[in-house]
């Protein structure tokens, strides 16, 4: 779960940097408080929440492996 949180934070920063550096995206959200920026961040958040839940369900029932 910690890995997913760290990856989400990296993607959050990536989206912010894209909206700051790419001219086409900067034109859509020059101050990063407009709807396209918020929608992109919300979509990323929802994707990571769903993926984290699916991963937790998939690996919850597996027993821990014993070290050799």
Residue 66 counted as domain residue: no
* DSSP assigned state of 34: S
Say if residues 48 and 7 touch (Cβ distance below 8 Å): yes
Residue 17 counted as domain residue: yes
Q: Which helix (H) or strand (E) holds 50?
A: helix 35-60
Say if residues 6 and 35 touch (Cβ distance below 8 Å): no
At residue 22, the pLDDT reads: 96
Report pLDDT digits (tens) over 4-45.
899 999 999 999 999 999 999 999 999 999 999 999 999 999
Report pLDDT digits (tens) over 49-62.
999 999 888 887 66
At residue 62, the pLDDT reads: 65
Number of domains in the chain: 1
Could you tell me the pTM of the whole model?
0.80
3-state secondary structure of 22: coil
Residue 36 counted as domain residue: yes
Residue 65 counted as domain residue: no
Q: What span, in angstroms and rounded, lies between the C-alpha atoms of 1 and 27?
A: 35
């Amino acid at each position: 779960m910690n890995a997913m949180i760290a990856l989400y934070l990296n993607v959050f920063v990536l989206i912010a940097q894209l909206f700051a550096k790419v001219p086409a995206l900067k034109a859509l959200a020059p101050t990063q408080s407009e709807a396209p920026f918020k929608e992109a961040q919300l979509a990323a958040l929802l994707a990571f929440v769903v993926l984290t839940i699916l991963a937790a369900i998939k690996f919850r029932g597996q027993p821990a492996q014993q070290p050799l």
